[in-house]
Amino acid sequence: MNDTTKIWKWMVALLAVLNIALLVSLWCGRPHHKMREGMPHEMGERGGPGKPSDILIHELNFSPEQAKQFEVLREEHHKAVEKLMDEGHTLRDNFFELLKTDSVNEPMITVRAALISENQRGIELATFNHFQKVRAICNAEQKKHFDEIINDVLKHMGGPHGRPGQGPPPPMH
């Protein structure tokens, strides 16, 4: 197999991954107006009532001990995701710096795009693992209710654009 064929295979694989990521982000970014009965309808300001963590504590009726365990898990998750997001911003900046290079080649583009994808994978895995741990501190009845509300909580985490931890897109110039 020659180098050109390898490059084309990498490009096709990258485009497939990016298309899947786009579809997922579009699907997750849809406005979801239907709320579960009894769940708060408005999210508060950051730090205010109505945060996803408050919804979980309230909806699952955590005991004081469970609430303490949850807060520890929430803080761990927040720190891990914040670090990954900072790294992701740097990776994205480095990726688009390639636009300023006249001699950019496909392997350079592919490698940097793959680093961004791997970083996003880390965010998704950290969030999945976090909620797996949250579910583990629930009793049997709470687990049933957790399973019913988790998708709504995840949608609230995404804010107006549907992606956990992501603010509005950058302005176009």
By CB atoms closer than 10 A (0-12, 13-18, 19+), residue 15 is exposed
Q: Which domains does the chain have, with CATH numbers?
A: 51-163 (1.20.120.1490)
- b (16+ CB within 10 A) / e for 60-98: bebeeebeebbeebbeebeebbeebbeebeebbeebeee
Task: Please report which confidence band the pLDDT of residue 158 belongs to, taking 50, 70 and 90 as the band edges.
Answer: low
pLDDT tens digits, one per residue of 66-108: 999 999 999 999 999 999 999 999 999 999 999 999 888 999 9
What is the mean pLDDT of the segment spanning 113-127? 96
Q: What is the pLDDT of residue 9?
A: 76
Determine which of 12-26, 52-66, 111-125 has the lowest per-residue pLDDT on average: 12-26
What is the mean pLDDT of the segment spanning 37-54? 52
pTM: 0.63
Helix (H, G, I), strand (E, B) or coil at 87: helix
The H-or-E segment that residue 134 falls in is: helix 106-136
Please determine, for residue 45, whether its predicted confidence score (pLDDT) is greater than 60: no
Q: What is the pLDDT of residue 13?
A: 74
